[in-house]
Structure formats: C-alpha cells, structure tokens
Chain A
C-alpha cells in the first residue's frame, strides 16, 4: 500500500491528469431552483466537487442507472455500455458497502451474472472518502460499518482541511501516484483514530440478531403501527443505495424494440399484483414489512451481510418522516419482550 499526502492544488493537477484517461464522477452541489442538492455527476472541473456534504442520491445512479437498455429484439444485440474507464470520486463508506451489496447480487452469484451491470462495473473504480462527520440521520457504525475507512475501494481519500491523504491499495494505480509526496502512516492512523471517536460519541444503539428470525418477525405485530403513515411513494427505495428491485420492460414497435431494465419498488402496490387481481402484499404494512425484512432478514439469509448500510437517506427523504431506526427499535423491543432473540440462521 502507498500513502500520499497532497494539497488542493496538487490534487487539482492530479485530477486534470486523471481526466485524460477517465471519466470522473463526483458529488457536486447543484442548485435546482435554489433547492440545493448534492448528487453524483460527471465533471470536468475539480473545484465543483462537494467534499463536505453527504450526497442526496447515491452513486447507485451511475452503477445501476434508473433506466438502462439491456438489448434489442431482432438484432439480438446486448448493450454493455462499455465506454471509458470511470472513477467515482468521494464515495463514502456507506455507499461503498452498498455497492458491495449490489456487486454481490448482480455479479458474484453464480446463478446469474448480470452482464450489463458487470460490463459497467468493470470499468468503474471507486475512490473512497473518509466520512468527516456524522450526518443528520446516518447510523452505519451501528450496523458495524466503519465510516472513516473501507477496504472495498482500491483508492481511498482522507480529507483534512485543505490536505488530502490518499491510500493507494491497488498496485495497478501506483504509477499514477508515484511522483506525489509520501504521507506518514502513523500520522494518518492518528487522524483516523481521532475521527472515529467523534462518531462513537453519538451512536444510535441497537441490539438485534442478524438475520432477523424470518417467521417470527414476519408474524410480529409491529408492522401496522410502523407503516401507518406510509404513502407508498417509493422514495425511500429510490434513494436507498442498496435497493435493487427492477422491472424489465419492452419499448418500441415490434421489430425495433428495446428491452430496458428499470428501477422498481416493493413499496408500490402494483409491484406484486397478479394478473388475477390477487396481491400477496395488498397493504402498506405488508409492503413496509417486506422492505425492512428484506434488508435485515431475507438478504442476510441469502447473501453475506446486510441489505441496509445505514446511510439514513430513506429517513431524510420520506415525506411523512418514517424512520427505519424506529422500526429497528420496535423490532429490538419486540424480540426482547419475546425473551431473547435467535437469529434467522439458528
């Protein structure tokens, strides 16, 4: 591993050099009629990067776009959009973990590898960013993730004022960074240590077994109360960096039609409705239960790890202020009252 320490101007030069070989996406502040948002966009200008705010939407939008063509009917062509190599700059731990989850689902399962996702993903390098402070609603550390470090990104940045520490974890990139000044590892560790302490002070405490016991929590009586206000708008799932439900649709006339993979949401009432009119999840409490259970029971039963990374976006975005932390607290209480919880794997 290589550790480099550079200032803003040096980073700017580095950025311009990288630009020659990569498309670069990063969180930028956009002013949509004064309602400011931070989103991941492709950029040319280093100064546009917003290092301080957690992005409103996650890099999922780039790796797994909301609408993407899969292929074309009669030509039997598949779209792999294998354009240029891409760097996504400034991806925080929660989003890195979320991308790990998407990778698990779409490329690491032998049963089915999503070729379109893989082609896109193979071209993308994540450049992580150590989280400077806790945001309003996030709780990644409660779920066991480390907000200030992540091993899944081959490049990782620690920003300290106007200075940038860069950990180069993948040998492949060493030549790019070779001529930049080295950073002192001990000093960096000190910085990391100090930063992690600022997080632990305000942790959200939670003690639940993972995976949640499937049948027991499915039958628990907490879901109606929890979901009472839900509008079924699906915003929580669209902003969620790990939600990956999708729908295939065909568009265009017979003979020249294209198949698209579009985001879908288990919070929509039509999502699971049968043609007969029967719907196994015909109420908002069932849909809400499915969303939470998928993240904390079903996903962990099918794959390693959680289906939620604690980014807090669903909490900030929900128009009626439903808070997933409350659902988790209710779960904790419910299982406690039932007398000690066993995980769904036992």
Chain B
C-alpha cells in the first residue's frame, strides 16, 4: 500500500471479540482486506499502527494487536472512548471498514535478538505488546530470543484481555507469565498491586542483557520507567510507545509533534533514552 495514499483500503470484519465486560469496554476486531493484492502485500511490524476508517464518520489510529506472522488476517483491539471507537464497537461481523498504513517505526525486532525480554502491559496497552509477544513466541522466531517474561496488569479480573492467549503463552519455552490486578478480589489467586511494585519480586529483572517493553496509561509508564531505572536497567533498554492525537499518520498534519519529532513517523516506539532528549510535552 502506498504511503501517499490518503484513502483507506476496504477491509471486512471477520470476527469481533468482546474482551472485557463492564468497566472497560474493549473489543478485538479480526479483519482482512477485500482486495487480494493489498492483502498479500500488506506487511507490518509489531509496534506499528494503522488508521482505521469508519466510513462516513471518521478515522482513528490503532496499534496492531496480532502478529505479522498471521498472514490471513489483521487484528486490532479498541477501547470505546469516543465517536470512532463507539462506531467500531457497534459494527457487526461482515461490515466493511477502511484501513491505511502501516505507519510508524515499530518495535526494534532485530536489535532485540539474543536478549532477554520483559513485557509489561497495562490495560489496552497490552494490545500493541501482544503483536510482539505473539511474534517472538512464534515457533519460527522463539529461538532468536532468550528468556521471555510478561507482566500483564489489569484493573480487575473483569478487565483482563486476550485470555485465549494465556495458555499458549504460559506453555511456551522459557517463558514466565504473571498477571496482576489493582486491588484484592475474591477468587483471584494471582498477583495484586500496581505493576511497578511487582517487578523486583515477581520477575527475574536482573538477567544480563535484558530489554523491557512497556505500554499502558501514561501514569503507569512513569512509575514503571522510574522503577526500572532504580533496578539498574539502562534507559536505552527501556522501550515504550507514545500516544498522541493523530490525523495523517505521515508527519504532515502537525498534531502529533513533540518538538521536531512526529510520533506518527518517528515513533510511536521510543526508548527512554530518546524520550529524555525530547521536549517534555506528551
């Protein structure tokens, strides 16, 4: 797909999965491009994003939540917060939407090879991480990476996401998966507390050559990055994604800038080291 094309390509909604129930309304959409050529030529990296059009209404950016190793479909997960996200939530299987992209830099897959990886995802922030988790845990890629650890944080048991993946994540080779919720809750036997308070006790954080990927609400990212540094992880090994309001996706419309960087084009993935160099406006 040409980047210069500001019109989306049509895609069909194959499946809609209600992830969470009450507190946060999150659905995962499995879609495929109608046009075969577009489908075949559409390549993306975990951490990149697409602009999704609800025809006649508007467009909004969403990260890929499926791995590029899945060739037959694309998935993205949407938290209902406003106009476009609400319209997406009202779609039915078989409906058509528009997609353009992929945009942004994506996670650094190559330079992460040979490293130990920790993923810390909070709420809908787990969506873009899931794309990378599924990629590195894929049979074809698993041996390229060392130990893989996940700390998945949710507000409550009601808010857990991607439950269908848990089993195969847990059963993957040399992989540790932890789950936490904010407050104790009847019937919950896993961790309790904000994720930054659990890194030291629940994860093997001090393996050599560890890289941490973290996505979630800004306040969580703030606490996690502070804690990781206290624990001796280098800012260049702490990787996160930023969210900004976006319209074009290609560094032109202007709204996603932080200083002279455009999050849509120079991001959305940044290391903590890069963020420190940038004006503090996000």
Chain A: residues with CB nearer than 8 A to chain B? 70-74, 76, 78, 105-106, 111-116, 211, 214-215, 218-219, 244-257, 259, 261, 264, 266, 271-276, 278, 280-281, 286, 290, 293-294, 297-299, 301-302
Known A71-B7, A255-B56; judge A248-B248 contact (CB<8 A).
yes
Chain A residue at smallest Cβ distance from B258: A280
Across the interface, which residues of A come within 8 angstroms of B278, CB to CB? 215
Binds A, one of B67-75, B188-196, B204-212, B249-257: B249-257
B47-91 CB contacts (< 8 Å) to partner A: 53, 55-60, 81-82, 85
Residue pair A112, B56 in contact (C-beta under 8 Å) = no
Cα A299 to Cα B98 with chains together (Å): 31
Let me know if B279 is at the binding interface, CB within 8 A: yes
Across the interface, which residues of A come within 8 angstroms of B259, CB to CB? 214-215, 218, 293, 297-298
Chain B residue at smallest Cβ distance from A265: B254
Let me know if B22 is at the binding interface, CB within 8 A: no
Chain B min CB distance to A44 (Å): 34
Residue pair B281, A280 in contact (C-beta under 8 Å) = yes
Residue pair A302, B260 in contact (C-beta under 8 Å) = yes
Q: Interface 1/0s, chain B 113-151, versus A by CB < 8 A?
A: 000000000000000000000000000000000000000
Q: Interface 1/0s, chain B 234-258, versus A by CB < 8 A?
A: 0000000001110110111111111
Residue from B258, B260, B281 having most chain A Cβ neighbours under 10 A: B260
Query: How many residues of chain B get a CB closer than 8 Å to chain A's CBs?
Result: 42
Residue pair A76, B7 in contact (C-beta under 8 Å) = yes
Let me know if B3 is at the binding interface, CB within 8 A: yes
Q: Interface 1/0s, chain B 13-39, versus A by CB < 8 A?
A: 000000000000000000000000000
Residue pair A111, B247 in contact (C-beta under 8 Å) = no
Cα A264 to Cα B257 with chains together (Å): 14
In the complex, how many residue pairs between chain A and chain B have their CB atoms under 8 Å apart?
130
Residue pair A246, B247 in contact (C-beta under 8 Å) = yes
Chain B residue at smallest Cβ distance from A257: B56
Cα A254 to Cα B91 with chains together (Å): 13
Across the interface, which residues of A come within 8 angstroms of B57, CB to CB? 250, 254
**Sample (21) of A-B pairs whose CB atoms are under 8 Å apart:** A73-B55, A73-B98, A76-B9, A111-B250, A111-B251, A112-B248, A113-B4, A114-B252, A214-B259, A214-B260, A214-B279, A215-B277, A219-B279, A250-B56, A250-B58, A252-B56, A259-B6, A259-B7, A274-B244, A290-B281, A298-B260
Cα A72 to Cα B281 with chains together (Å): 35
Chain A min CB distance to B18 (Å): 20
Set A247, A248, A253: member contacting B56, Cβ < 8 A: A253
Let me know if B223 is at the binding interface, CB within 8 A: no
Cα A99 to Cα B260 with chains together (Å): 21
Set A115, A116, A247: member contacting B253, Cβ < 8 A: A247
Chain A min CB distance to B87 (Å): 10
Across the interface, which residues of B come within 8 angstroms of A259, CB to CB? 6-7
Residue pair B281, A273 in contact (C-beta under 8 Å) = no
Chain B min CB distance to A298 (Å): 4
Residue pair A218, B281 in contact (C-beta under 8 Å) = yes
Across the interface, which residues of A come within 8 angstroms of B244, CB to CB? 272, 274, 280
Set A115, A116, A278, A293: member contacting B218, Cβ < 8 A: A278
Residue pair A245, B253 in contact (C-beta under 8 Å) = yes
Let me know if B166 is at the binding interface, CB within 8 A: no
Chain B residue at smallest Cβ distance from A247: B247
Known A112-B252, A245-B254; judge A254-B55 contact (CB<8 A).
yes
Across the interface, which residues of B come within 8 angstroms of A218, CB to CB? 259, 279-281
Across the interface, which residues of B come within 8 angstroms of A254, CB to CB? 55-57
A-B contacts besides A70-B6, A114-B4, A266-B254, 7 pairs, CB < 8 Å: A73-B7, A245-B253, A245-B254, A264-B247, A264-B255, A274-B245, A298-B259
Residue pair B253, A264 in contact (C-beta under 8 Å) = yes
Chain B residue at smallest Cβ distance from A73: B55
Across the interface, which residues of B come within 8 angstroms of A278, CB to CB? 218
Cα A261 to Cα B151 with chains together (Å): 42
Known A115-B4, A250-B55; judge A276-B81 contact (CB<8 A).
yes
Across the interface, which residues of B come within 8 angstroms of A219, CB to CB? 279
Let me know if B265 is at the binding interface, CB within 8 A: yes
Chain A min CB distance to B165 (Å): 26
Known A246-B254, A248-B6; judge A74-B55 contact (CB<8 A).
yes
Set A71, A111, A112, A248: member contacting B59, Cβ < 8 A: A248
Chain B residue at smallest Cβ distance from A71: B7
Chain B min CB distance to A169 (Å): 29
Across the interface, which residues of A come within 8 angstroms of B4, CB to CB? 112-115
Residue pair B247, A280 in contact (C-beta under 8 Å) = no
Across the interface, which residues of A come within 8 angstroms of B59, CB to CB? 248, 250
Chain B min CB distance to A137 (Å): 25
Residue from B6, B218, B244 having most chain A Cβ neighbours under 10 A: B6
Chain A residue at smallest Cβ distance from B249: A112
Residue pair A249, B260 in contact (C-beta under 8 Å) = no
Residue pair B252, A105 in contact (C-beta under 8 Å) = yes
Q: Interface 1/0s, chain B 255-278, versus A by CB < 8 A?
A: 111111000010000000000011
Cα A294 to Cα B7 with chains together (Å): 28
Across the interface, which residues of B come within 8 angstroms of A116, CB to CB? 6
Set A248, A253, A286: member contacting B281, Cβ < 8 A: A286
Across the interface, which residues of B come within 8 angstroms of A114, CB to CB? 4, 6, 252
Chain A min CB distance to B200 (Å): 29
Residue pair A244, B56 in contact (C-beta under 8 Å) = no
Across the interface, which residues of A come within 8 angstroms of B3, CB to CB? 111-112
